[in-house]
Amino acid sequence: MMRISTTKTRRWMLSTAVCGVLITGCSSGEGEGGDSKPQTKPAAEAKPLAEGALRPLLLTQADLGYGYTQVQEEPGEGKFDDVAVQGCPALEKLDQSGEEDLFAAKAEASFTYDRDATLGEEVHSDRPSVLSSKLRELFGAYTSCPTYTMTAGTTPIEVKVSKSVAPELGDERFAYTSTMELPSGAQVLKTMAVRKGNVAVMLVGAPALVDRHIKTAVDKLPAGN
């Protein structure tokens, strides 16, 4: 499953394909689903929540059920600095943007399931208009090219991307599926994000796990503001 970077959300987005190769130490495996409601900036936007307020919103082993084990995040800034993309201008631009923190606050959790499947979660908070515009930018970039090449160090990975339909949850939702052509065979990862007011949740991993738990993840978010 893909690993979620603890320091650079953009590196988390780039690492979705790489974790098909770097399975060990990866926590979860992301374009826009085209299933989002039109946004109108409210007169007075809700302020971002602090990181401490986001942690109780994360999924737990009790939420997920039998067979899941939480994985402790490994410290280390820049662990995905050798991840790069070729063959997709929008993603190459994203990779070069250098943004350290896309949103005001973030909390994350990672799980393994049945030893060889993984599920990663990030909960972000910012003003609703900021969450909306940046999620659209990120997922839009990742669905802008049907195919591209990722490299982890010197290892090339061919990636195919297709938009996915997300369930009618929250105020906006985004989803896509990535198929990575690995020496051991094709690996499929799904990325889904749902915004609910000033909080957004992202799940990445095996498609069945993402589909199974996205509603539970969204239900843990506070009422939209």
> Does residue 27 have a pLDDT over 50?
no
Instruction: Give the pLDDT score at 150.
Output: 87
Cα dihedral 65, 73, 143, 168 in deg (nearest 10) = 30
Domains of the chain with bracketed CATH = 9-37+47-219 (3.40.1000.70)
Total-model pTM: 0.80
Higher-pLDDT residue of 66 and 4 is 66
pLDDT the model gives residue 189 = 94
Opening angle at CA 83, ends 77 and 85, nearest 5: 145
Q: How many helices (H) and strands (E) does the chain have?
A: 6, 9
Helix axes 89-96, 128-142, angle to 10 degrees: 130
E-assigned strands of the chain? 68-71, 83-86, 105-113, 117-125, 147-152, 155-163, 172-182, 185-196, 199-205
Looking at the DSSP assignment, which residues form a beta bridge with residue 161? 178
Query: CB 41: neighbour CB atoms within 10 A?
Result: 11
**Residue from 172, 170, 175 nearest 222 by CA:** 170
pLDDT in tens, 37-55: 555 554 578 999 999 999 9
Q: Can you tell me which residue has the tokens 């990663």?
A: 120
Determine the residue type at 80: F
**pLDDT score, position 101:** 65
174-188: b or e for each residue (b if 16 or more CB lie within 10 Å)?
bbbbbbbbeeeeebe
50: left (phi over 0), alpha (psi -120 to 50) or beta: beta
Residue that wins the pLDDT comparison between 150 and 9: 150
